Structure 1
Amino acid sequence: MLKNFKNINSWRKLKGLILVGLGFLLSPLSWWNDLFFNLPLAYLFGYLCSYFSANLFLPGTIAGYWLSNILGILLMQFGVIDVLQEKPQEHNLKKELLIGFISSTVYTLIILLLLQLNIFKTPDLFTQQPSLSIKSFLPL
């Protein structure tokens, strides 16, 4: 099996496939990954941010969620480029970060919209506290 991977191009393609797999696990493209990957990573990021200030836990968690999605999209982009291109080329990190940030933000806004329109229902985990709405975050 390893003799098929003697040239560098084959190793690069294998590395690309691994990056695509890891990126898919972190990306917003799979519906189940949030529970197992993104939310625990986001919670950890929020927890680390709360060391600086207790008020940073929720914003840190949201930022961690976005960062994990952006990282997933970037890993998939790098992996696909490694798999599909015959000759290795330089990555335009600025452009790929911008694409990842925009796509993750659009995805998050779509989910928020679906929640606000009651198309998606969330369980009421805190029955004694009033539920949050997007209006409480807007400066109106």
Structure 2
Amino acid sequence: MLNIQNVSQDLSVAGQTTSEQLPQAASKHVIQPDIWKKLRGGFFLVLGYLLSPLCWWNDLLFNLPIAYGFGYMCSLFSPKLLIPCSIIGYWLSNVVGIILMQLGSVDVFQNEHKERNLKKELFTGLVSSTVFTLVIILLIQFKILDTPVLFSNT
């Protein structure tokens, strides 16, 4: 009987030691994936910023070549699609930039671990990008923002 009590005490002490050591070991393994998650999020955040309309110098280096490439690929089907598809490609590159910024910022700034709903994140990114585009169009239409005359006949 005495041996059984000693064994049960030894097991309970061993269980306590193991449970005390587990959080330390788990924290060492959680840190590394967390760093990779933050680095991935930072990469997406920077890439999204470079593609987004928030970056003022990105058009010449990123968005216009992407838009022209998209328009060129569409013009292989019909030459009339070059300009319209270039405009669509430009808008899509800006939308992708905003969505990448949103996904990257969630990885960088969110500390708690919770499951991500990719459909919901893409939908909110698309809606926010579209709202941003509509706001800019309204600001241009109401002459609050001034745009250069690109296709003037004078």
TM over 0.5: same fold? yes
Q: Any conservation in 2 of the 1:49–1:60 contact (CA below 8 Å)?
A: yes
1:1-80 alignment runs, 5 A limit: 7-80=32-105
**Whole-angstrom CA distance in 2 between matches of 1:7 and 1:98:** 30
Check if 1:105 corresponds to 2:126. no
Q: Any conservation in 2 of the 1:70–1:97 contact (CA below 8 Å)?
A: no
Deviation, structure 1 residue 88: 5.6
Q: Determine which structure has the larger helix proportion and give its number.
A: 2
Aligned to 1:93: 118
Q: % of aligned pairs identical?
A: 56
Q: Any conservation in 2 of the 1:46–1:61 contact (CA below 8 Å)?
A: yes
Give the partner amino acid of 2:60: L
SS of equivalent to 1:12: helix
Q: Which runs of 5 or more residues in structure 2 are unaligned?
A: 1-30
Q: Any conservation in 1 of the 2:52–2:94 contact (CA below 8 Å)?
A: yes
Q: TM-score, normalised by structure 2?
A: 0.65
Aligned to 2:5: none
Deviation, structure 1 residue 109: 2.0
Larger CA Rg, structure 1 vs 2: 2
Deviation, structure 1 residue 104: 2.0
Q: How many residues end up aligned between the 2 structures?
A: 124
Deviation, structure 1 residue 42: 1.4
